[in-house]
Structure 1
Amino acid sequence: MRALRTAAGVEFTSLLVLLVNLATVHWPAVSSLTGPTHGCAYLFVTVQVMRTPGTNGRTKLYALLPGVGGLLALRQYGRRQPAAAQGPRAAERR
C-alpha cells in the first residue's frame, strides 16, 4: 500500500507540474522529463490497483482516471477497510 501511495502522489504532482508548465513558460525540457514520469506513475497505479485482490469495480474505475485516480483509489481503500484491518496504529492516526 505504501508503494501505491507514493505512486499516486507522484502521478498527481507530475500532472500539476505539466499543467503549470503548459500554462506558464512551456519549457520542452520540463515536459520531456515530467511527461514520462507521469505516464509511468499512472501505469504503476493502474496495474497495482487491478492486481490487488478484493478490489471492487468502483476502485478500478477510479484508478483509470489520470492524475487523481490513484488518490481516489486510496480513498476507496481507506473507506472499505475497518480500523482493525489497517493495523494496530490505525486508531492513533485518526
Structure 2
Amino acid sequence: MRRPDRLLRVCAPLELVTLAVLAANVGLLHLPAIASTVGPLHGCAYLIVVLTTAREPNADRTAVALSAVPGVGGVLALRRLAANRAPVRRG
C-alpha cells in the first residue's frame, strides 16, 4: 500500500491554515486584500483535497465524506487513509 498523494499531504494542512487566516481576517482585520488573496487559495486547496481524496486507491466513502468538511476535512481524510492503510494486528 502506498502513502497518500503528495498533493493531498500538502493541500490538507494548507486548507486548514487558509481557513484560519480568513476567519482571523473576518474577526479582527477586515482587510479586503487578505480576503481576495487567501480566499481563492483556500477554495483551490479545498477542491484539490476533495478530488485527490476521491482518487486515492484506498479511500472509502467515509474518507471522501470527511474530505468535504471545510477546514479540518483534509486532515481528517488523511488520518482515515492512514488507518485504512495500517495492517490490523491480532493476538
TM class by shorter chain equals 0.7 to 0.9
Alignment partner, residue 52 of structure 1: 56
Where does residue 22 of structure 1 map in the other structure?
Answer: 26
**TM-score, structure 1 length as denominator?**
0.83
Percent of residue pairs identical: 40
* Aligned-CA RMSD value: 1.1
How far apart, CA to CA, are the structure 2 residues paired with 1:21 and 1:55? 34
Partners of 2:6 and 2:55 in 1: how far apart? 15
- The 4+ residue runs of structure 1 with deviation greater than 3 A are none
Q: TM-score, normalised by structure 2?
A: 0.86
Whole-angstrom distance in 2 between the partners of 1:76 and 1:57: 10
Q: CA deviation at 1:2?
A: 2.1
Aligned length: 83
SS in 2 for 1:60: helix
Gaps of 5+ in 2: none
After superposition, give the CA deviation of every residue in 1:2-53 in whole Å (9 maximum; x if it has no partner): 2211100110000000000100011000000000000000000000011112
